[in-house]
C-alpha cells in the first residue's frame, strides 16, 4: 500500500495569516492553481481511492488532483484540521497581527504549553484521532496493494506524519515544521507498518510559501 498525503492548496485565510481550524474556508485562485499543478505532477500515479477531510479546502484539493478519474473519495473526520475554537479568524502574524495572538502562537512557538481556546481542541486529541485513522487504514486488509490519496491540513498532516516517525512528544510536534500548501509526502505500508519514503514533494514551480508567526 502507498499513501500520498497532501496538504490542501492555499486559501485567502492562509494568505492573510488567519487561523482556520474547523472554519470551512475555500481555496483561492492561487490554491486552485497549486492543486492543478500538483494534479499534473501526480497524473501517472494509479490511485485507487482517496480519503479527505470534510472541509472544503481539502476536499476540493482532492477533487482537482483526481479530476477526470472515476475514483471514490471518502470523507473522514479523523483527518479534519485541528479545531481552534474562538481563535479561528484571528490574524496571528504580519502587520495585521492581533494584539492577543500570543496565546494562540504558543501552538507553534511553545507547543508544550499551548492551551486550547474555548471550543478548541487539544494537540493530544488531534494526535489520538489521526492515530486512529492511520491505524485503521494501515491494518485494513482490503486496502493492501492500493494507492491512496489522503487530502488533509497542516496540523492534521503533521500529526499523521509524527505517528509514522514515532515522534509522539507534544513539545516536538513541529520538529519538521509546517507542511507547505500542496506538499506531498509518500508513505509505504508493509505488513501494516507505515514508513515515509519521500517527504514534502512539491510539484509546482512557484517559490514555496513557508508558515511563520513572526
According to DSSP H, which parts of 77-148 are helical?
102-109, 123-138
> φ, ψ for residue 60 (rounded to 5)?
-65, -40
Active-site pick, 8, 22, 153, 163: 8
Report CA 28 to chain centroid distance, whole Å.
17
Task: Return the C-alpha cell found at 149.
Answer: 490519496
Give whole-number Cα distances, 183 to 61, 118, 134, in Å.
Answer: 12, 31, 19
Whether 81 is catalytic: yes
Interacting residues of 140 by C-beta distance below 8 A, sequence separation 6+: none
> φ, ψ for residue 133 (rounded to 5)?
-60, -50
Distance (Å, whole) CA 66 – CA 204:
17
Whether 8 is catalytic: yes
Report CA 77 to chain centroid distance, whole Å.
13
Active-site pick, 10, 22, 81, 163: 81
Half-sphere exposure (Cβ direction) of 148: Cα atoms closer than 13 Å: 23
Distance (Å, whole) CA 95 – CA 170:
29
- By annotation, the residues acting in catalysis are 8, 81
Amino acid at each position: 500500500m502507498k499513501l500520498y498525503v497532501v496538504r490542501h492548496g492555499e486559501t485567502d485565510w492562509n494568505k492573510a495569516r488567519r487561523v482556520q481550524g474547523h472554519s470551512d474556508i475555500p481555496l483561492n485562485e492561487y490554491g486552485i492553481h497549486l492543486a492543478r499543478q500538483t494534479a499534473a505532477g501526480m497524473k501517472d500515479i494509479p490511485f485507487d481511492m482517496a480519503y479527505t477531510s470534510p472541509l472544503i479546502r481539502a476536499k476540493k484539493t482532492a477533487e482537482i488532483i483526481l479530476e477526470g478519474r472515476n475514483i471514490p473519495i471518502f470523507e473522514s473526520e479523523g483527518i479534519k484540521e485541528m479545531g481552534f475554537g474562538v481563535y479561528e479568524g484571528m490574524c496571528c502574524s504580519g502587520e495585521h497581527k492581533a494584539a492577543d495572538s500570543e496565546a494562540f502562537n504558543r501552538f507553534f512557538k511553545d507547543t508544550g504549553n499551548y492551551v486550547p481556546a474555548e471550543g478548541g481542541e487539544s494537540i493530544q486529541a488531534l494526535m489520538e484521532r489521526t492515530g486512529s485513522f492511520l491505524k485503521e487504514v494501515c491494518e485494513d486488509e482490503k486496502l493492501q496493494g492500493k494507492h491512496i490519496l489522503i487530502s488533509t491540513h497542516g496540523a492534521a498532516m503533521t500529526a499523521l506524519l509524527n505517528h509514522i516517525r514515532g515522534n509522539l512528544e507534544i513539545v516536538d510536534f513541529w520538529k519538521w515544521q509546517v507542511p507547505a500548501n500542496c506538499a506531498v509526502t509518500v508513505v509505504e505500508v508493509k505488513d501494516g507498518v507505515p514508513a515515509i519514503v519521500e517527504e514534502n514533494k512539491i510539484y509546482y514551480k512557484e517559490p514555496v510559501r513557508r508558515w511563520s508567526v513572526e
